[in-house]
């Protein structure tokens, strides 16, 4: 199973060495107090486990989960229920233990759907005594408010650059501005000078809203660069009109990131409306874009007063995660868990695009769920279970803010302290052979050793983030585990294709033409062999962690370890 590749010097660990163009071979890890522990992948049992993963199986799962009959798998729908029953049957057939609640595979996740009533909502900007009233869906959208039915705020607006306060990284848009009682306006994204994953963290709207709220702001307005590669206004409007979800706590109140906030209104502007913001401003909007591109902090009061009126309708939705367990074989380590996650939900029925209203989500994320099933098959095929136990979580409501995984980490069905590492499969990219990988998160913990050993065994190169502007590190379920202090990996494909095709161009085309649209269907030229490779590298990485003596640890002085890892 080991692939031929030019010989390079063995290297264990990525931290401090950089990720770009490294080829990693061997299987080494650091045990307690730095003791080296050899973990071999060159055994008949591991080779047989790798061989148990087939392209036909991955294709079969994807075609079932992305079929029109499941109507896009939105949480709380019959389509989601059908998809869940299929995955549960697959996990049960592998002989895995139920690890949900009440002796079953399911963990109920109570959700609240929140939809903006467009007719009863609105936005206006007043500049020099003149009021500009905007059209919903053409000029702006509003964020649904999970904790309020009626919300209205009128306040002066202050521009705060990217809305990022990161003094430890040498950047702070809030250093010289007072936002108390004001609405803050900011650019989406984060300074390009920041390291990729830190840039992703600070680009989060939730982080920005929290920062603004902590400084006394009462509302937020966001807008984008005209040439932002993630900007697709029509897709964003369709996404907004699907509403938002929050998970509910035991009292029935929104929890997690849906909890009550002092932010009374949240708007996103199209380019024309963003231009109105800067009428009479001390700095022209084009100069603002230039400064932002140069990672120059900026903040100043605008000559604008904004009114945001949001009417939100709420509806309770019952959904669930699936949780399965393979018990470990080591009497001491079997109480610890390595957990694989794939989300099975998608957007259901929505706005028609080219006459199609079913958001099938074949790549996002029938593919990842299918690969998790096959990783489970590989582990279950081992004649002796690995030392640590392995959990398989099929999460709900990822598309609405990583809600199923967030609910799980805050209400785990196993002891919280037993969760030692996470690997997430989400839209792994199946449009060309998997020759190089980008293991998001590897530079933050000693999981770098495990993924390095796995990639080396399979002859895969490891590269750095080729699309930092897409802020992938915060965009899938692994990030729920990171936020709870658990080291995690999100292994994605690099852009090497092995032929004349441009992997970057293929990636861009998918994101612009099919991502989060009804055109993400099973018949779009998938390379199911690449799916096998994704399953194999994730299996080997997790196997390495299950077999090593020491549980994974954050690197000393790491940004995310310091931010989230203190409680573990």
pLDDT tens digits along 40-52? 999 999 999 999 9
- 7 located within any domain: no
CA angle centred on 241, ends 238 and 245, rounded to 5°: 120
**Between β-strands 171-172 and 165-166, what pairing exists: parallel, antiparallel or unpaired?**
antiparallel
Does residue 167 share a domain with residue 229? Answer: yes
Most confident range, picked from 256-265, 366-375, 461-470: 366-375
φ, ψ dihedrals at 134, nearest 5°: -105, 160
Mean pLDDT in residue range 99-105: 97
Rounded to an integer, what distance in angstroms lies between the CA atom of residue 486 and that of residue 567? 10
Does residue 293 share a domain with residue 148? Answer: yes
Does residue 140 share a domain with residue 78? Answer: no
Mean pLDDT in residue range 465-493: 93
Does residue 353 share a domain with residue 311? Answer: no
Does residue 309 share a domain with residue 270? Answer: yes
Does residue 337 share a domain with residue 310? Answer: no
Residue in the block written with tokens 């004649």: 383
* CA distances from residue 281 to 130, 302, 566 in whole angstroms, order as listed: 15, 5, 43
Does residue 81 share a domain with residue 129? Answer: no
The SS3 assignment for 331 reads: coil
Note whether 382 and 49 are within 8 A (CB): yes
- 106 located within any domain: no
pLDDT digits 0-9 by tens, 106-117 = 999 999 999 999
Q: What is this structure's pTM?
A: 0.90
* Last residue in a domain, options 256, 288, 315: 315
Does residue 279 share a domain with residue 222? Answer: yes
- 566 located within any domain: no
pLDDT digits 0-9 by tens, 419-456 = 999 999 999 999 999 999 999 999 999 999 999 999 99
* 209 pLDDT more than 50: yes
Does residue 86 share a domain with residue 134? Answer: no
**Between β-strands 244-247 and 130-133, what pairing exists: parallel, antiparallel or unpaired?**
unpaired
The SS3 assignment for 244 reads: strand
φ, ψ dihedrals at 567, nearest 5°: -85, 0
Mean pLDDT in residue range 73-96: 98
The SS3 assignment for 462 reads: strand
Q: What is the CATH number of the domain that holds 336?
A: 3.40.630.10
* 376 pLDDT more than 90: yes
The candidate with the shortest Cα–Cα distance to 425, out of 534, 544, 268, is 534
- 283 located within any domain: yes
Question: Angle between the 367-381 and 78-93 helix axes, to the nearest 10 degrees?
Answer: 20
Rounded to an integer, what distance in angstroms lies between the CA atom of residue 62 and that of residue 207? 34
The whole domain housing 390 covers 22-29+38-95+327-445+466-551
The pLDDT score that the predictor gives to residue 292 is 96
Could you tell me the two tokens for 141? 């959208």
- 266 located within any domain: yes
Could you tell me the two tokens for 122? 């609105």
- 482 located within any domain: yes
The pLDDT score that the predictor gives to residue 288 is 96
**Between β-strands 488-493 and 419-424, what pairing exists: parallel, antiparallel or unpaired?**
parallel
Domains identified in the chain, total number = 2
User: Would you place residue 257 in the very low, low, confident or very high pLDDT band (cuts 50, 70, 90)?
Assistant: confident
The candidate with the shortest Cα–Cα distance to 455, out of 496, 402, 503, 427, is 496
Does residue 388 share a domain with residue 298? Answer: no
- 454 located within any domain: no
Residue-averaged pLDDT of the chain: 92
Q: What is the CATH number of the domain that holds 253?
A: 3.50.30.30
* 23 pLDDT more than 50: no
Mean pLDDT in residue range 311-323: 97
* CA distances from residue 552 to 391, 420, 547 in whole angstroms, order as listed: 16, 6, 11
User: Would you place residue 568 in the very low, low, confident or very high pLDDT band (cuts 50, 70, 90)?
Assistant: low
The pLDDT score that the predictor gives to residue 20 is 36
- 64 located within any domain: yes
Q: Which sign does the torsion angle of CA 492, 495, 500, 501 carry?
A: positive
The pLDDT score that the predictor gives to residue 567 is 59
Helix (H) or strand (E) segment spanning residue 51: helix 44-51
Helix (H) or strand (E) segment spanning residue 277: helix 271-277
The candidate with the shortest Cα–Cα distance to 203, out of 242, 155, 171, 238, is 171
Does residue 476 share a domain with residue 335? Answer: yes
Note whether 110 and 395 are within 8 A (CB): no
Does residue 203 share a domain with residue 54? Answer: no
Mean pLDDT in residue range 83-111: 98
Range with the lowest mean pLDDT among 19-28, 140-149, 395-404? Answer: 19-28
């Amino acid at each position: 199973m080991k692939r031929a590749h030019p010989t390079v010097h063995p290297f264990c660990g990525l931290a401090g060495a950089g990720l770009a163009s490294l080829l990693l071979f061997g299987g080494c890890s650091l045990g307690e107090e730095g003791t080296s522990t050899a973990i071999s992948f060159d055994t008949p049992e591991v080779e047989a486990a790798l061989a148990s993963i087939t392209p036909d199986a991955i294709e079969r799962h994807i075609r079932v989960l992305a079929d029109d009959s499941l109507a896009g798998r939105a949480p709380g729908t019959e389509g989601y229920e059908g998809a869940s029953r299929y995955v549960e049957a697959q996990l049960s057939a592998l002989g895995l233990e139920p690890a949900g609640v009440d002796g079953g595979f399911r963990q109920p996740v109570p959700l609240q759907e929140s939809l903006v009533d467009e007719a009863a909502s609105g936005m206006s900007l007043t500049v020099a005594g003149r009021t500009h009233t905007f059209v919903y869906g053409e000029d702006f959208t509003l964020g649904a408010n999970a904790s309020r039915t009626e919300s209205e705020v009128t306040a002066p607006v202050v521009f705060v650059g990217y809305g990022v306060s990161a003094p430890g990284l040498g950047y702070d848009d809030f250093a010289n501005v007072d936002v108390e009682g004001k609405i803050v306006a900011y650019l989406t994204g984060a300074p390009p000078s920041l390291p990729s994953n830190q840039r992703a963290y600070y680009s989060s709207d939730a982080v920005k809203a929290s920062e603004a709220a902590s400084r006394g702001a009462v509302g937020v307005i966001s807008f984008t660069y005209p040439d932002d590669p993630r900007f697709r206004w029509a897709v964003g409007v369709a996404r907004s009109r699907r509403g938002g979800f929050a998970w509910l706590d035991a009292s029935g109140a929104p929890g997690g990131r849906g909890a009550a906030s002092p932010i009374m209104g949240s708007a996103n502007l199209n380019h024309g409306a963003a231009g109105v913001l800067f009428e009479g401003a001390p700095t022209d909007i084009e100069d603002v874009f230039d400064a932002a591109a140069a990672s120059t902090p900026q903040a100043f009061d605008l000559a604008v007063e904004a009114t945001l009126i949001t009417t939100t309708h709420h509806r309770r939705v019952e959904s669930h995660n699936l949780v399965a367990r393979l018990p470990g074989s080591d009497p001491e380590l079997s109480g610890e868990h390595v957990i694989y996650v794939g989300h099975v939900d998608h957007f259901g029925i929505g706005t028609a695009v080219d006459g199609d209203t079913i958001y099938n989500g074949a790549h996002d994320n029938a593919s990842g769920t299918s690969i998790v099933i096959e990783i489970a098959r590989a582990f279950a095929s081992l004649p002796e279970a690995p030392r640590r136990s392995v959990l398989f979580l099929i999460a709900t409501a990822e598309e609405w803010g990583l809600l199923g995984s967030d609910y799980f980490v805050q209400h785990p069905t196993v002891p919280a302290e037993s969760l030692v590492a996470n690997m997430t499969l989400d839209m792994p990219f199946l449009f060309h052979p998997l020759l190089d990988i980008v293991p998001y998160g590897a530079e933050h913990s000693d999981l770098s050793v495990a993924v390095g050993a796995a990639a080396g065994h399979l002859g895969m190169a490891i590269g750095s983030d080729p699309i930092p502007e897409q802020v992938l590190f915060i965009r899938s379920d692994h990030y729920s585990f990171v936020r709870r202090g658990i080291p995690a990996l999100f292994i994605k494909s690099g852009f090497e294709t092995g032929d004349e095709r441009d992997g970057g161009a293929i990636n861009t085309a998918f994101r612009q033409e099919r991502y989060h649209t009804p055109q993400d269907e099973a018949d779009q030229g998938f390379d199911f062999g690449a799916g096998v490779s994704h399953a194999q590298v994730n299996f080997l990485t997790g196997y390495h962690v299950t077999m090593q003596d020491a549980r994974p640890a954050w690197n000393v002085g790491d940004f995310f370890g310091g931010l989230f890892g203190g409680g573990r």
